[in-house]
Amino acid sequence: MTRLNKFLAEKTGISRREADDLIAAGRVETGGKTAILGQKIAENAAICVDGKPVSTEVKHKTILLNKPIGYLSSRRSQGGDPTVYDLLPTEYKKLKTAGRLDKDSSGLIILSSDGDLIQNLTHPRHQKTKIYEIALNKPLKPEHQRIISGSGVNLPDGKSRLKLAKSSDPDRAVRVTQRRGTPEQCFPSSEKFSGEESVAGPEHPEDELGFADATKHWQITMQEGRNRQIRRTFAALGYTVKKLHRTHLGPYSLGKLKTGKFVVLDSGSSPE
């Protein structure tokens, strides 16, 4: 048995709240009877919305988006700021985000109608690896490198430990198998942005990111995802993260996807 609102959300791509609204309005029937809020149904139950059968075949939509700086990851704009949904055609505007980025950050965001996929990518128990390229306002001192990677930095919501690597070192490139329609390849930071023409930034994104000085340029690998954790970790030691760009989330990576662009993945189950 499963809750009717969950069933509708999974099969139609709407939210559970929207499903509850349909049920409350008397627009949903199960077994020929008007459904009620909180109702549970059998796996093979016949469900109709506005008299039309709901297909049990699931065809989820999932996209990878290279978010530009200045865009919100939320659905609604705040203060007139654009959102990532402004970059998408109408058919993708109902997708939900997995792994948000703040307004001042850029890089990989995954949007999907697959609730299981989003849960798999975002719930702390799954410990999905995330990789970021950052630029600091000043060189990172060796003792602070040891603290961040070793004992960790105390934050109000707990200790923060981050794995650091010099992004300019091609030997530290991380290979991640990409799935469902994307090539199996990952690019070291030295060539990641080579030849790309950003639609929301300068012609050479490496200049936008401020990665000219290797002593300020780091690759961060982590499996947590607390609110603005990277920025707060460095701020606690007296640094400002000037640029933050996510390249990997779980089994997915940007590859050479251009800023402001997205790629549609094939339908399938959640990553293992």
Of these residues, 102, 116, 213, 266, which one is catalytic?
A: 102
Contacts of 180 (CB under 8 A, 6+ apart): 62, 265, 266, 267, 268
For the purposes of burial, counting CB atoms within 10 Å of the CB of 175, is it exposed (0-12), middle (13-18) or buried (19 or more)?
exposed
Q: Does the active-site annotation cover 171? A: no
Number of neighbours of residue 113 by Cβ within 10 angstroms:
23
Q: 10 Å Cβ neighbour count for 31?
A: 11
Supply 185's token pair.
């390849």
Distance from first CA to last CA of the chain, Å, rounded? 25
What tokens does 216 get? 């300020």
Which amino acid is it at 96?
K
| Residues taking part in catalysis | 102
